[in-house]
Amino acid sequence: MMTTATQEPLLTKVEGGVLWLTMNRPEAHNSFTVPMFSAIDKGLDQAAKDASVKAVVLTGSGKAFCAGQDLREHLERKPAFIDELRARYNPLILKVRKLQKPVVAAINGTAAGAGMSLALACDFRLCVPETKFFTSFIKIGLAPDSGNLFWLGSQIGFARALELEMTGKAMTAEEAERWGMVNRVVPGDKLLEETKAFLKPMVEGPGKALALIKQLYNHTLFSQGLPELLDYEALIQQEAGTTKDHDEGLAAFVAKRAPKFTGE
């Protein structure tokens, strides 16, 4: 089903103690827009406040999970990278981590750029065999943001992570499972069913203990502080966003041609 101008960018439902947040811009591969950020933010707030919600699932409609920033919207608004990351991306990643309930990414297709970062920031990941993961940033002359390099390095090792970030090549679902980035690869027609089954013991488990485990996990992982890391990323991305190579990357994207980078 195609998204119309009046259609909600995010579909929400609570079922069996699980809040499902479905990004709903299939014609644009569920790429991020300001309204989508706002909707996901409200959805996570709902999960935090509603005691009947025991877990959250993030997924996408259509054939993609999330392709990252909607570059056409970005070109129209032309926000400073540092402002955009501090206002939207970093708060979203932090909210996923701070939510005292399990968050699962049910990855129904391509996850790219900050869309991949969002999936990596979740506690668990299930994906379909057709899924491809693209860091994407290098393709438009940018550095990783939204915690992408940190999440990726923590989950598959920094040698592999750096290769993906610097080449922009895809990671397959099979590689993601073999390298420990996803918990399960499941048939596409079984993704929702398998996600429910995966979450069942947590939904029925001791919620306070689960929250404390997540709190301990965060403390173990972020010894130097996730907010500080994300803010440093914003500074780096601001510098990358003022390069001629980034301008060329965007121009090539719009023209649907290969970029010709000069190192400037």
Structural domains present in the chain: 10-189 (3.90.226.10)
Dihedral pair phi/psi, residue 99, rounded to 5°:
-60, 125
The DSSP secondary-structure symbol of 131 reads: -
Give the model confidence (pLDDT) of 15-29 as tens digits.
Answer: 999 999 999 999 999
Burial profile 199-227: b = 16 or more Cβ within 10 angstroms, e = fewer: beebbeeebeebeeebeeeeeeebeeebe
Of the pLDDT bands very low, low, confident and very high (cuts 50, 70, 90), residue 4 is: very low
Query: Distance (Å, rounded) from C-alpha 113 to C-alpha 137?
Result: 6
Bridge partner list, 107: 127
Confidence of residue 3 (pLDDT cuts 50, 70, 90): very low
Query: pLDDT at position 244, please?
Result: 85
pLDDT digit string, tens, across residues 116-158: 999 999 999 999 999 999 999 999 999 999 999 999 999 999 9
- Kindly report the number of other CB atoms within 10 A of residue 131's CB atom: 26
137, 165 Cβ separation under 8 angstroms = yes
pLDDT of residue 106: 98
pLDDT (tens digit per residue) in 10-63:
999 999 999 999 999 999 999 999 999 999 999 999 999 999 999 999 999 999
For residue 215, the model assigns a pLDDT of 84
pTM value > 0.95 = no
The DSSP-derived string for 26-89 is GGGTT-B-HHHHHHHHHHHHHHHH-TT--EEEEEESTTEEE-SB-HHHHHHH---HHHHIIIII
Mean pLDDT of 182-197: 97
The model's confidence at residue 223, banded by pLDDT at 50, 70 and 90, is: low
Read off the pLDDT of each residue in 90-104 and give the average, rounded to a whole number.
96
